[in-house]
Amino acid sequence: MLELFAKANLPTMAGNFVIYVFKNDENKDHAVIVKGDVKGRQDIPVRIHSECLTGDVLGSRRCDCRDQLIKSLVYLGKQDYGMLIYLRQEGRGIGLLNKIKAYSLQDQGYDTVEANVQLGLPIDQREYSFAVDVLKYFGINSIKLMTNNPAKIDFLAKANITVSERIPIRSEPTEYDEFYLSTKKIRMGHQL
């Protein structure tokens, strides 16, 4: 069950938004950043972004997470309406501690998939039910999804959310994330 706990104006470098904080049955608080009046609208641009402390906050160059987050906010800031759903599921759902352990294995030559396997963890443990609940809360059943990850599209389709368009998020690879991005494309099917 989705419960709204707080709502406030959120002026950002990308534009003016409203931030909502919801809690779900797992008692995790997730943020939803909204541009304009989205209630009942269809085919709105939506980014479903999973938390990445190292990238989003610290600016790590090992991944493209911050780049995707900033590009999404800038894009949404230019629209009349749209939404960014920020899910608290660090490290593809494995948590910060395991993510740093996986980084250590990557420093030894493992790719991001192999590192999770070495730790006895799933390759990708993220779950998007909260995003579906948020869309239903706002009366939205058709979106333009900002993603490179076909698994998100598949999950939403199974939950009866129509993805009428995929909006790719393009990042230029760096010397630090080129191997990571290549692994996501080849081993996880990301559309980069």
- Ordered by start, the domain boundaries in the chain are 3-89+126-185
Q: pLDDT tens track of the chain, all 192 residues?
A: 688 889 999 999 999 999 999 876 666 788 999 999 999 999 999 999 999 898 899 988 888 889 999 999 999 999 999 999 999 887 777 888 888 998 888 889 888 788 888 888 887 778 888 999 999 999 999 999 999 888 889 899 999 999 999 998 877 766 665 555 555 555 555 555
Q: Which residues contact 171 (CB under 8 A, 6 or more apart)?
A: 64, 67, 68, 71, 181
Under DSSP, the state recorded for 167 is: E
Do the Cβ atoms of 56 and 68 come closer than 8 Å?
A: no
Backbone angles phi, psi at 111, to 5 degrees: -85, 175
Q: Counting beta carbons within 10 angstroms of the beta carbon of residue 37, is it exposed (0 to 12), middle (13 to 18) or buried (19 or more)?
A: exposed
Distance CA 192, CA 184 (A): 8
- The single residue listed with the structure tokens 């995003």 is 131
Catalytic residues: 124, 126
> Which top CATH class is 3-89+126-185?
alpha beta
Do the Cβ atoms of 67 and 73 come closer than 8 Å?
A: no
Q: Indicate the average pLDDT of the chain.
A: 86
Can you give the pLDDT at residue 140?
Answer: 96
Can you give the pLDDT at residue 160?
Answer: 94
Can you give the pLDDT at residue 71?
Answer: 94
Can you give the pLDDT at residue 172?
Answer: 74
Query: Can you read off the two tokens belonging to residue 94?
Result: 């494995």
Distance CA 176, CA 140 (A): 38
